[in-house]
Structure 1
Amino acid sequence: MDFEAHLTAAAAAHGFVPDTAQRAAAAVLADLGRELRRRPRRFARGVYLHGPVGRGKTFLADTFHATVGVPTRRVSFHEFFDSLHSAVFSHGSADAAIAQWAGDSRLVVFDEFQVDDPGDAALLTRLLTVLRKRRVSLVLTSNHHPHDLLPNPLYHHLFLPGIALLEECVRVVTVSGPRDYRAHDAPLGNFAGGYTWNGASDDAAGRRHMPEPLERTTLTMRSRTLGALAVRGTEVWFDFAELCERPVSTQDYLDLAERFDTWVLTGVRPAMTGDGWQRFANLVDILYDRDRTLYVRADRSLPDLLRDSPMRTERTASRLALLTRAS
């Protein structure tokens, strides 16, 4: 069965029919799969899937990963990049760390590829260089065209070499069909706990009783401590300011996601800085990827929260909308 047939079957199992944009992207992925299998010692130009949220980019990439039939690694970009920093420190060399991580993979699938930090630009360019030399092909999903990565005009020039290399390594394919599948059709999974605001109590988030002062506790992380409003078994309560407006790292969020299955975040509001909102967006990504349950208690409705936020919010908005569907 070729990839396009696999995709049609997988879509049917999820209750939908691939749209025109998805089928066009599937044809490009099918070409990549055939080249990888036919010419195992040659570099095959990969695929960069970009477009609005909820159009099926991750579904396409995951179905391809599951069916391509060559040694493949699939990673969430947040989790991978944080582990890469640690590996580079351990090895003393980015090249050695990347080579060990890639192993014998012929294909790496990166979900949610993004570049927002100027400090990461050089390391990402090195990553692309090493994988290209090792003849590792890429499939990437992103909400942004390569030219829009690292969008801050003060720093965008730092990633121009990386963008040029990326476009040598992949075919850029737009997936922008008319339907937002996540908004209407995506299963809620464990992630979608609920969203409540201004003290509303008519949903699952509002019905969870607020912690008492005696429940406050301190959690010890690798590099810092965090104050939690409560820990109830595998359920943790945090205040938004403590978790997102302090310099908490993505690795801290990843470690906490291993420890707690259910999260309640109170006092959510537009962050005072873009860094604070970026941390919140990273946290939402991680909990969504790990299928951890999230309840949000905010000071305003979701449309108002997103309107007043200090930076772009497309993916975060799409994932938070799942919480409102569950409420």
Structure 2
Amino acid sequence: MSRSLPRPVKWGPVSPSPAAAGRHPIADPAPQSLCAREPHVPAERLVAEMVPPPRFQKARFETYVPDASQPSQAQAVQVLSSFAGTLGGAHASGAGKRRWFQKKVQAPAGPRGVYLDGGYGVGKTHLLASLWHATPAEPSLKAFGTFVELTNLVGALGFQQTVATLSGHRLLCIDEFELDDPGDTVLVSTLLGKLVDAGVALAATSNTLPGKLGEGRFASADFLREIQGLSAHFKALRIDGEDYRHRGLPEAPSPYSDEQVAKAAYATQGSSLDDFPHLLDHLAKVHPSRYGALTDDLSAVCLTGVDAVPDQSTALRLVVLADRLYDREVPVVASGLPFDRIFGEDMLKGGYRKKYFRAISRLTALARDGKRLVENA
């Protein structure tokens, strides 16, 4: 979207006017509106974007800082570094060049994948991206995406075409492997089985809540059981620790007033300004696979009237948006409720609780990033 001709913004009931923001609309172009965006994403883009997101483009094993009090973190770096070193040989399937009279090359014996099991904020995505970067193969032969993005790819391409597209890869990294939806889990499990047979190495992460590491529904045993016959292909690595996003940092800023949010939006070129309830309604009209495109070229997201999320479907859509904003390092400035109060107690105790805790952690980090925009407005 061109920033030279910004879209007119339809203000929600609590969105301040330009005058209330203390800015002249001619001097300061109106912010964009997420609610005015309805992106369309071709399947080719879904494939092309299967690389580590901007936040993790520079992630390397050398830049991962293990917590000295958590030996499992340093151990994970060593194991993953060694694993990356095993992925530089010939592709088990011959990279699609096997002739009809040749015998099929069998995949190497032993684990062909690693699974990182731990709580949110211990650096699993950093380690997964580091593995992607350390694997000695061309970027076109490596794929990186979340579980949701992988299921979206299957939906866009179809199962057989997805298998054909990924079978020539050396490595497939799946972030945030989900155990919530049995249908999607079985779908991806079947896909991974096909890819392992083709010689593709796998790596995955999933969240285990603090106090439940190694046990309960979200533990590694459950993951390995859910992916059924693939358990022999994975080496599970348990990573302990506290949420690094908030380790040793000051508390997140308290929510601002509507006027402060609007002022920051008008002072920040390329920002968006939306009423939170209206944005939640708009998310229901956009497929989650397009949430990344929804945030294209944004320098900040400013929200007025943040309130408790009304239902689980809305909450899950917000989780996906929070992930995409975090991946793209888009700061957030908000008024209303603090982010640690937007999900009800029933949600934080339910089957999707790991997603909500991750969203709270990430939105809080982005709110901390947004503090400078308010101070500079």
TM-score for the superposition, normalised by structure 1: 0.70
CA–CA distance in structure 2, aligned partners of residues 282 and 250 of structure 1: 7
Between structures 1 and 2, the one with greater strand share: 1
Query: What is the 5 A alignment of 1:82-231?
Result: 82-88=152-158, 94-100=159-165, 102-144=166-208, 148=217, 162-177=226-241, 179-184=242-247, 197=255, 199=257, 205=261, 207-208=263-264
Work out whether residues 74 and 110 of structure 1, in 8 Å CA contact, stay in contact via their aligned partners in 2.
yes
CA–CA distance in structure 1, aligned partners of residues 225 and 72 of structure 2: 29
Of 30, 53, 56, the residue aligned with 2:120 is 53
CA–CA distance in structure 1, aligned partners of residues 143 and 326 of structure 2: 19
Which one has more relative contact order, counting CA pairs under 8 Å at least 6 apart? 2
Q: Deviations over 1:23-47 (max 9, x none)?
A: 2212332342343335753345211
Work out whether residues 72 and 108 of structure 1, in 8 Å CA contact, stay in contact via their aligned partners in 2.
yes
CA–CA distance in structure 1, aligned partners of residues 147 and 245 of structure 2: 20
Task: Give the drift of 1:274.
Answer: 0.9
Task: Give the drift of 1:22.
Answer: 1.4
Work out whether residues 270 and 308 of structure 1, in 8 Å CA contact, stay in contact via their aligned partners in 2.
no
TM-score for the superposition, normalised by structure 2: 0.62
Matched, 1:9 2:65: no
2:73 match: 22
Query: What is the 5 A alignment of 1:302-321?
Result: 302-306=339-343, 308=345, 310-311=347-348, 312=353, 313-321=356-364
* Structure 1: gaps (5+ residues): 1-5, 89-93, 151-156, 187-193, 211-231
CA–CA distance in structure 1, aligned partners of residues 126 and 81 of structure 2: 14
How many aligned positions are there?
276
Q: 1:52 to 1:104 in 2, by over 3 A?
A: same
The one-letter code of the counterpart of 2:161 is A
CA–CA distance in structure 1, aligned partners of residues 216 and 321 of structure 2: 25
Percent identical pairs in the alignment equals 25
Work out whether residues 172 and 201 of structure 2, in 8 Å CA contact, stay in contact via their aligned partners in 1.
yes
CA–CA distance in structure 1, aligned partners of residues 346 and 112 of structure 2: 38
The one-letter code of the counterpart of 2:176 is E
Larger Rg: 2
Work out whether residues 11 and 17 of structure 1, in 8 Å CA contact, stay in contact via their aligned partners in 2.
no
CA–CA distance in structure 1, aligned partners of residues 69 and 164 of structure 2: 36
CA–CA distance in structure 1, aligned partners of residues 81 and 301 of structure 2: 39
Q: 1:79 to 1:262 in 2, by over 3 A?
A: farther
